[in-house]
């Protein structure tokens, strides 16, 4: 809730053209304060994760009415929520004031006396230029740049578009919402003197791994669009500068461009891997199949924290970043801090877990050098723990290798500091996409996740995996073996058992089989 009645209640935020990374820092800041996020249908769903878990999320698609009739309901929703004292983020595709009816929403807020702030966003034309290496302005070819609507209200008051002036415009035309009226737009420009051979192009889903484009002389642009199968929404670019685009633009040259990949990590852990994949051009879908919950019983953890405070343990060993965060959160909730840990020595199963410790200004004494698994941690720890007391902080389920093998040389106790809980009904839309063959790769980051993910398969999905149409990529041989135990092939295993190793395995698969 916003405590200051004079400060903005409503933020009109530009979500950018489709790539979540193009949201501005200010946009992320205000989303973090939101009680309500009212968002456009084409806004990347990942941007909603910037809002607090308690925030209400409403897509304008779900408001009453057909498209032209929704706007009074949008205005009403904004005003009522703001009057109730809520902080409201109206998350709009592109920039709020470029062909997004942001001006009408501002007028409604102003009339209702609602304080607001406008946060600009990257509009589609700028993204198309950058991601296609196409100079929208150029000292030699285009000294101006015009944003034009391709879908004007037929009964609008005032002057309509001057197609004669636009045909003579000395620069690049960027026409929004014009795909459905493309033949008419071309005819108007040609009628008023635009040369038929003027370079032109259409860009669909600019800045994302789904980006597609087609280029042709203006007179043949509609024919080229039909042959390429491009549909709305798309952006039309017309002008001499269009011919100076790169034929292999930087984004489309990324090693995973256009590849559809499913990430199965728990939602709160998937962001880093998702961002890395998107930077490499992939189209990423998240399908978490397990969730991380607090333990059902805190008593064993509280007892172990007290034993650490009393110096009863020589080593505290973490097998995941989740374990680090969970144990330290419990320490804080009990009114204590890291001074209770005294001189206990710390071990981490791999670099990500070690980084979680560093987040709290703690440094692991032991981290495996190469093999980031229970076996690797045993090998790294055994020379240090003989005859000592070792406390393992881990999940409520998983392999028992670490405890069993360390127990041959040390006194070992194991506590579950968080619970892994299966998601009973993973997103059915993603499962449907797997059935239809729209996904090529699935990344599996643990044996628990692999088994749970495969348990969601029906015969159609299993068949696609068996035929190699859907490829399962494992973070380690242990995860790979879990997949094989379920009767399915493993397309690749990471050589380094990290997120970067998973990505490298996918890149190598594509290098060896680019079109399979």
Residue 400 corresponds to which tokens in the numbers above? 């028992």
Looking at the structure, do residues 302 and 418 belong to the same domain, yes or no? yes
Q: Distance between CA atoms of 161 and 149, rounded to whole angstroms?
A: 9
Range of the domain at 384: 294-422
Considering 179, 209, 244, which residue would you say is the last residue of a domain? 244
* Own/partner long-range contacts of 188-197 (Cβ < 8 Å, ≥24 apart): 188/163, 189/163, 189/218, 189/238, 190/218, 190/219, 191/163, 191/167, 192/163, 192/164, 192/166, 192/167, 192/168, 193/164, 193/167, 193/168, 194/167, 194/218, 194/238
Same structural domain for residues 322 and 360? yes
Residue 277, pLDDT score:
97
**Alpha-carbon dihedral sign for residues 39, 45, 49, 54:** positive
The answer to whether position 327 is within a domain reads yes
CATH classification of the domain holding 349: 3.40.50.10090
Please indicate, yes or no, whether residues 236 and 176 belong to a single structural domain of this protein: yes
Helix (H) or strand (E) holding 273, with range, is: helix 271-279
Q: Note whether 223 and 371 are same-domain residues.
A: no
- Measuring CA to CA, which residue among 436, 439, 394 is closest to residue 412? 394
Asked whether residue 408 falls in the same domain as residue 309, the answer is yes
pLDDT tens track for 120-138: 999 999 999 999 999 999 9
pLDDT at 397: 86
pLDDT, one tens digit per residue, over 288-332 is 999 999 998 999 999 999 999 999 999 999 999 999 999 999 999
CATH number at residue 172: 3.30.950.10
Token couple for 236? 């039309």
Residues 352 and 458 both lie in one domain: no
Same domain, yes or no: 56 and 165: no
Same domain, 31 and 108: yes
169 and 240 within one domain = yes
Same domain, 393 and 446: no
Is there a single domain that holds both residue 410 and residue 439? no
β-pairing, 471-474 vs 441-444, is parallel
Distance CA 240, CA 217 (A): 10
Determine, yes or no, domain membership for 255.
no
Q: What's the rounded Cα separation, in Å, for the pair 488 and 482?
A: 9
Is position 250 within any domain?
Answer: no
Last residue of a domain, one of 62, 89, 122: 122
- For position 458, what pLDDT does the model report? 93
Quick check: is 332 in a domain? yes
Residue corresponding to tokens 């992939």:
282
Tens digit of each residue's pLDDT (9 = 90 or more) over 191-227: 999 999 999 999 999 999 999 999 999 999 999 999 9
Match 């100076």 to its residue by tokens: 244
Q: Is residue 1 part of a domain?
A: no
Q: Work out how many domains the chain is built from and give that number.
A: 4
More confident site: 45 or 67: 45
Do 155 and 215 belong to one domain?
Answer: yes
Last residue of a domain, one of 180, 211, 244: 244
Crossing angle of helices 321-333 and 299-309, in 10° steps, is: 80
Mean pLDDT of the 371-398 span: 92
């Amino acid at each position: 809730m916003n405590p200051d009645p004079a400060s903005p209640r409503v933020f009109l935020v530009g979500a950018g053209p489709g790539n979540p990374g193009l949201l501005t820092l200010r946009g992320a800041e205000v989303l973090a304060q939101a009680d309500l996020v009212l968002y456009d249908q084409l806004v990347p769903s990942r941007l909603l994760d910037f809002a607090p878990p308690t925030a209400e999320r409403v897509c304008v698609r779900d408001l009453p009415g057909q498209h032209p009739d929704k706007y009074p309901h949008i205005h009403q929703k904004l005003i009522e929520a703001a009057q109730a004292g809520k902080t409201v983020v109206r998350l709009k595709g592109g920039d709020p004031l470029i062909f997004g009816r942001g001006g009408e929403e501002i007028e409604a807020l102003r009339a209702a006396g609602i304080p607001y702030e406008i946060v600009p966003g990257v509009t589609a034309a700028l993204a198309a230029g950058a991601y296609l290496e196409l100079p929208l302005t150029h000292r030699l070819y285009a000294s101006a740049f015009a944003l034009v609507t391709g879908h004007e209200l037929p009964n609008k008051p005032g002057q309509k578009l001057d197609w004669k002036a636009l045909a003579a415009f000395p620069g690049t035309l960027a026409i929004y919402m014009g795909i459905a009226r493309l033949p008419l737009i071309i005819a108007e420009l040609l009628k008023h003197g635009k040369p038929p051979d003027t370079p032109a192009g259409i860009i669909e889903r600019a800045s994302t791994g789904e980006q597609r484009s087609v280029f042709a002389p203006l007179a043949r642009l509609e024919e080229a669009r039909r042959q390429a199968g491009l549909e709305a929404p798309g952006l039309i670019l017309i002008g001499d500068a269009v011919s100076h685009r790169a034929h292999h633009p930087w984004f489309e040259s990324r090693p995973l461009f256009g590849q559809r990949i499913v990430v199965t990590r728990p939602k709160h852990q998937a962001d880093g891997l998702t961002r890395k994949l998107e930077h490499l051009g992939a189209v990423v879908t998240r399908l978490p199949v397990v969730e991380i919950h607090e333990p059902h019983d805190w008593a064993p953890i509280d007892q172990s924290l007290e034993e650490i405070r009393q110096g009863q343990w020589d080593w505290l060993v973490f097998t995941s970043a989740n374990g680090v965060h969970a144990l330290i959160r419990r320490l804080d909730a009990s009114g204590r801090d890291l001074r209770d840990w005294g001189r206990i020595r710390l071990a981490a199963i791999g670099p990500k877990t070690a980084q979680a410790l560093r987040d709290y200004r703690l440094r692991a004494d032991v981290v495996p050098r190469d093999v980031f698994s229970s076996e690797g941690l045993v090998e790294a720890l055994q020379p240090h723990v003989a005859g000592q007391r070792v406390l393992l902080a881990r999940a409520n389920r998983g392999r028992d290798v670490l405890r069993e093998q360390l127990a041959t040389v040390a006194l070992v106790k194991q506590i579950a500091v968080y619970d892994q809980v299966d998601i009973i009904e993973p997103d059915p839309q993603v499962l449907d996409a797997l059935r239809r063959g729209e996904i090529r790769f699935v990344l599996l980051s643990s044996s628990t996740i692999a088994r749970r993910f495969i348990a969601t398969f029906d015969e159609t999905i299993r068949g696609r995996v068996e035929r190699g149409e859907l490829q399962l990529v494992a973070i380690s041989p242990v995860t790979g073996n879990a997949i094989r135990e379920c009767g399915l092939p493993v397309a690749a295993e990471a050589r380094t058992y990290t997120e970067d190793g998973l990505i490298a395995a996918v890149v190598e698969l594509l290098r060896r089989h680019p079109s399979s």
